[in-house]
Amino acid sequence: MKKAFWLAGAMALALAQPATAADSVKIGFVSTFSGPTAVIGNDMRNSFELALDHLGRKIDGKPVEVIYEDDQQKPDVGKQKTEKLVQSDKVDFIVGYIWSNVLLASLKTAVDSKTFLISANAGPSQLAGELCSPYVFSTSWQNDQTPAAMGLYMNQKGVKSVFLIGPNYAAGKDMLAGVKSTFKGEVVGEEYTVWPSQLDFSAELTKARNSKAESIFVFYPGAAGVQFLNQYAQAGIKAQIPLYTAFTVDELSLPLQKDNAIGIPGAQEWVNDLPNAENKKFVEDYRKKYPGLRPTYYGAQAYDAAQLINSAVVAVKGDLTKKDAMKAEMEKANFKSLRGPFKYGNNHIPIQNFYLQDVVKDADGQLSLKTVATIVKDDQDKFHDKCSMK
């Protein structure tokens, strides 16, 4: 009896689902919502929700349903959650992905099912090159681009030699390769650390100091960035060897890094003070909606992903079966991005500016990030030639 009841319930649900799918836009959102890096996932969710608020909670007049899934920062879990979203929830779009290794594990599932996937952060080199797909777009960057911009800045500063330190996973390798692609000085050492479990960098810092390099470059997103800066300052190396970074100082890590972050330059495609109307509104409304929090580039990219989806759905007048037309619309990047206008390359990775950011005390006496200069304009990733789409 009980069994029959459950069975009936399940069948009713199964019948009900396709009916609702037709008149709503279903979005799956894969990010990290548990563990030490959950703050990043929360920021992406906050910004995505804010974008939906700005769109009136509707896309082309249809209600939006977002299903948030936690990848626990693990590639296998991310793949599983992506499969669930594609196969049982039958979502129209999948958004999110902080981590390159999680995205690479999940990619095939989305592409095979021809579900649009919009990476709001991860940008592994493979995605820009041989694994590029008509169904995959990025509202962030290709991993190498940001550190490559940092390399250019280091050339401007006349830095002669560098010691590179980064985590041993897809993005870490891209990041260090990115600096090497533009930096004209000598690379005296290159160290990879176990990711994400290694949090003590004493051995690497000791090597960096003994290498007599003129500078250090690191890529440590999330809490690892806090730990690296702590240890860099405590070892007294901050007074000896200047540090250059990518994705290591942001609005989430800054409250914990405090004064350790002062004087540490970073490169970024979005900074909270970029002077366009959409960005001002975004930062203001975010701080109003989530008191005590500040948006990061992760959030800005998630916000842009919502706008990109909106542009595609509006262009086909809500007919989500017209995938080719939606793809063609998204390729135009026909929406107001928080970073200012950009174009898509053939591989659906933005061609965009990168800025130099610095840590300053703002009007409230709080540490915040500020745009100092434009390092490079309309930068395109160097893997687009390897992409089969023309």
Closest CB 371 distance from other proteins, rounded Å = 25
Cα–Cα–Cα angle for 259, 265, 267, nearest 5°? Answer: 135
**Contact between residue 358 and residue 372 where contact means Cβ atoms under 8 Å apart:** yes
Instruction: Work out whether 263 is an interface residue with other proteins (CB under 8 A).
Output: no
The distance of closest approach from Cβ of residue 207 to other proteins in the complex, given in angstroms and rounded to an integer, is 6
Q: Is 161 in the site for other proteins (CB under 8 A)?
A: no
Question: Of the listed pieces 11-19, 82-90, 194-202, 267-275, which binds other proteins according to CB under 8 A?
Answer: 194-202
Work out whether 227 is an interface residue with other proteins (CB under 8 A): yes
Within 10 A of 181 (CB to CB), how many other CB atoms are there?
Answer: 14
Q: DSSP letter for 85, please.
A: I
If one counts every other C-beta atom within 10 angstroms of the C-beta of residue 22, the result is: 10
From 110-118, 201-209, 270-278, 334-342, give the range in contact with other proteins by CB under 8 A: 201-209
Q: Which residue's CB is nearer to other proteins, number 252 or number 369?
A: 252
Assess 17 for contact with other proteins (CB under 8 A). no
CB of residue 172 to other proteins, shortest distance in Å: 10
Closest distance of CB 280 from other proteins, Å: 25
Residue 86 corresponds to which amino acid? V
Nearer to other proteins, 20 or 210 (CB): 210
Contacts of 334 (CB under 8 A, 6+ apart): 311, 315
**204 makes contact with other proteins (CB under 8 A):** yes
Nearest to 232 by CA among 262, 274, 194: 262
Cβ–Cβ contacts within 10 Å for residue 196, how many? 19
168, 366, 374, 388: which one contacts other proteins (CB under 8 A)? 168
Nearer Cβ to other proteins, position 195 or 354?
195
Stretch that binds other proteins, among 74-82, 104-112, 187-195, 340-348 (CB under 8 A): 187-195
- 133-155 in b/e form (b: 16+ CB < 10 A) is bbbbbbbbbbbbbbbbbbbbbbe
Residue 343 half-sphere exposure, CB side, CA atoms within 13 Å?
7
- E strand spans, 168-276: 186-193, 215-218, 243-246, 266-268
DSSP 270-327: --TT---HHHHHHHHHHHHHSTT----HHHHHHHHHHHHHHHHHHHTTT-TT-HHHHH
366 contributes a contact to other proteins by CB under 8 A? no
CB of 99 to other proteins, least distance (A): 17
- x/- map, 20-39, other proteins, by CB under 8 A: ---------------xx-xx
Helix-helix angle 223-234:202-210, to 10 degrees: 50
Can you tell me which of 87, 88, 156, 234 binds other proteins, judged by CB under 8 A? 234
Give the footprint of other proteins on this chain (CB under 8 A). 35-36, 38-39, 42, 168, 173, 190-194, 197-200, 202-204, 206-207, 209-210, 223, 226-227, 230-231, 233-236, 252, 255-258
